[in-house]
Amino acid sequence: MIRQLTALFGIPIQNEALYTQAFTHKSHLNEHPKEESNERLEFLGDAVLELIVTEFLFATYPDKPEGELTSYRSALVRGKHLAEVAAELELGQFLRLSRGEEKSGGREKSYILANTFEAVIGAMYLDTGFDTVQDFIHRAILPRLSELVEKGLHRDAKSKFQEYTQEKLGVTPHYDLVEEIGPDHDKRFLMAVLLGEKEIARGEGSSKQKAELDAAEKAVEKLGVE
């Protein structure tokens, strides 16, 4: 795998075990309980990715206000975008899944690909250091910003969904915590977005904010909000 990933990422890879873990979905542990999933690396990679993107935006757009920079960052690091990058890199081929997840098409699922991409960033950071990861993200993620802005994808899904529901339905969406998953040091959140008493969609993330955003993105897609 080292040779494949070295060629794919264009960086020197040394610790194969880190990447093996990065590609280990939690479902794999159902059949191999003594192994470790990629969730901790995902937690780390998420923070590293956000820092590098934030630093780039801060330096590149000195005249942009905080709100606009936040929208740009959200577009770059949102799950759907990361899943698209992961799919283009064909990361799904390296995933370690349970037999059930394999049969259900886990290698193509957007949320699994997005989480795996973040885990890979975490592994890359531990294996090669900050500068190498920064170079990779500058090549793989940041050049896409202009396209995202041009398509209007930098608009936050929560804001977009709220504007739509208030204008079309006269209702303001709200978010409820459905479930907290995992230990305190590696917790994930499941949030639901509702219109009144009706649940529209659910989202998952490493924070409540990210889970809400994921739920909003799914609601936007479900209702065909432009």
Spans of all domains in the chain: 2-150, 157-223
Q: For residues 148 and 46, what is the distance between their CA atoms, to the nearest angstrom?
A: 20
CB–CB of 36/50 below 8 Å? no
The token duo for 142 is: 């940041």
The H or E element containing residue 188 is: strand 188-195
Over residues 161-178, the pLDDT tens digits come to 888 899 888 999 999 999
Q: For residues 102 and 84, what is the distance between their CA atoms, to the nearest angstrom?
A: 19
Over residues 59-81, the pLDDT tens digits come to 999 998 887 888 888 888 888 88
Higher pLDDT, 156 or 48: 48
Query: In this structure, which amino acid lies at residue 125?
Result: Y
CA dihedral sign of residues 52, 53, 59, 60 = positive
Fold designation for 2-150:
Ribonuclease iii, N-terminal Endonuclease Domain; Chain A (1.10.1520)
**Within a 10 A sphere around the Cβ of 210, how many other Cβ atoms?**
20
> With 70 as the cut, is the pLDDT of residue 153 above it?
no
Pick from 88, 225, 60: nearest CA to 155: 225
pLDDT band at 152 (very low <50, low <70, confident <90, very high): low
N- to C-terminal Cα distance for the chain?
41
pTM more than 0.85 = no
Over residues 206-223, the pLDDT tens digits come to 889 889 988 998 998 888
What pLDDT is recorded for position 120?
A: 97
Q: Is 90 left (phi over 0), alpha (psi -120 to 50) or beta?
A: left
What pLDDT is recorded for position 226?
A: 67
Query: In this structure, which amino acid lies at residue 182?
Result: G
CB–CB of 185/193 below 8 Å? no
The token duo for 157 is: 């899904």
Please report the DSSP string for 56-93 in residue order.
HHHHH-TTS-HHHHHHHHHHHHSHHHHHHHHHHTTGGG
CB–CB of 45/122 below 8 Å? yes
Residues annotated as part of the active site: 46, 118
What pLDDT is recorded for position 81?
A: 87
Fold designation for 157-223:
Double Stranded RNA Binding Domain (3.30.160)
CA angle, residues 124, 130, 133, in degrees to nearest 5: 45
pLDDT band at 40 (very low <50, low <70, confident <90, very high): very high
Distances (CA, A) of 53 to 48, 107, 110, 153, 180: 9, 26, 21, 16, 28
CB–CB of 187/205 below 8 Å? no
